[in-house]
Amino acid sequence: MYAARAAATAIHGLTRHSHILVHHRMCVAANLPNRYVMVMETELLIGLIITVVALAWWAGRRSARRPTHLDQDFLPAHYFQGLNYVLNEQPDKAIEVFIKLIEVDSETVETHFALGNLFRRRGEVERAIRIHQNLIARPALSMAQRTQALYELGLDYMRSGILSRAEAVFQQLTDDAAQGAAALRQLVDIYQQERDWTKAIGALTKLAEVSGIAKSAVIAQYHCELAELARAEHDTQRAEEYIAAALANDPKCVRANLLAAEITAQTGHAQQVISALQRVEQQDPDYLPEIFGLLLQAYEQLGRAEEGTEYLRYVYARYGGIAALLHVTDLLRRQQGDAASAAFLEQQLRTRPSVRGLHRLIELNVSLSSGSEHTDNPLRALQELTAQLLRIKPVYKCRQCGFNAKALHWQCPGCKHWSSLKPVDSVEGE
């Protein structure tokens, strides 16, 4: 018992001191001032002394109370071997020695958990797996400790990329009072990575029941993923069923209405397209730039292009945004020509400046210029400069983590949030 406690004390010190040693080496490599390096060296030395003293104290108690042949010959040799590794700045080898001396009991099990977590964080997943498998095999563990070891093993498999084994482990824990919710979260993550949206819906539904926290908006996104797959297989009926399920879970699901409009547009029902797209304003106005192209096309199919123009003017007046302004400008250009559209755009840009707006204004003025056919037209140089500026600007930005993208992702590639990547449609975003 005392050997186990001594080894546990040593490992606790070593796991901390190994981090100190890494920081120390980084300081030296970075040529930091000597006072910083001296502090690191002093902290490391103090830590080693504490470890040695702890070992000596425990060994002294062991020798006083249990003077057996095994203690006198076997354990001291391993202790001094471990200490030799410590003093030679080889903490990994020292940990290997001391862990062999730890008996798994109620007093040392937390040391095993700490060590397994350390190995997993450092990327030494095989070591972490061996530790947690060893814990699970021990009959002395309580049920709570065994389920915790099982959960940690699942995390090890996740870190190593063995998702099938991780899934099997977490499935065993879904009904556990302590680890059930955490296991379900991991299962949701696994199913998202595997793009198994049906299983993801089941796991997230159960998690909502266990945690009491509604997950309807994310479940709606899973139904939209299934609708996308059905549409790719030309199964319109099944796609519409998934879209209906998405809106039943989350009436504010913009993606569902966009999908519904795109599918309906293929059947030629223009009025239904308009109705679906105009609902986006009540769901989330930030996504309005996504509807303009298809919306105007539907109005033109019905012979009501002027109504589409008025709706865009309304959107621009209420919400602003360069996307609506440029669509109105394009409509004016087709109806009244370059001069009228350029005058309108210039007037609007005086109150709401925008790089995209300026680029379009230059384009219109190049078209109007009598010297537009000459390559030395100074407006062409400005047009090239604004075009270069726009090429490096993001079209979408995540409102959670700031991830920038040129294409719309319904799940942010950076932070994995759903519906957080939105169009950059403001002056500040340009």
Length of the chain, in residues: 430
Residue type, position 373, single letter? E
| Residue listed under structure tokens 């986006």 | 280
Q: How open is the CA angle 125-128-131, to the nearest 5 degrees?
A: 155
Domains of the chain, by residue range, sit at: 2-162, 326-390, 393-430
Is the per-residue pLDDT at 239 higher than 80? yes
> pLDDT tens, 314-327?
999 899 889 999 99
Strand stretches in 81-189, DSSP E = none
Residue 425 is predicted with a pLDDT of 78
> pLDDT tens, 404-419?
999 999 999 999 999 9
Is the per-residue pLDDT at 30 higher than 50? no
Residue 68 is predicted with a pLDDT of 46
Name the range with the highest mean pLDDT among 36-40, 304-308, 426-430. 304-308
> pLDDT tens, 152-171?
999 999 999 999 999 999 99
Residue 55 is predicted with a pLDDT of 47
Task: Give the chain's radius of gyration (CA, Å).
Answer: 33
Is the per-residue pLDDT at 379 higher than 90? no
Residue 222 is predicted with a pLDDT of 98
Going by pLDDT thresholds of 50, 70 and 90, the confidence category of residue 27 is very low
Structure tokens of 73?
């010959």
| Residue listed under structure tokens 């539907």 | 298
Residue 94 is predicted with a pLDDT of 58
For residues 313 and 330, the answer to whether their CB atoms sit within 8 Å is no
Q: How far is CA 116 from CA 5, 141, 190, in A?
A: 17, 16, 21
For range 177-206, the mean pLDDT: 96
Per the confidence metrics, is the pTM higher than 0.85? Answer: no
Domain 393-430 indexed as CATH 2.20.28 = yes
User: Quick one: angle between helices 143-160 and 125-136, nearest 10?
Assistant: 160
Higher model confidence: residue 185 or residue 72? Answer: 185
Is the per-residue pLDDT at 342 higher than 80? yes
Going by pLDDT thresholds of 50, 70 and 90, the confidence category of residue 25 is very low
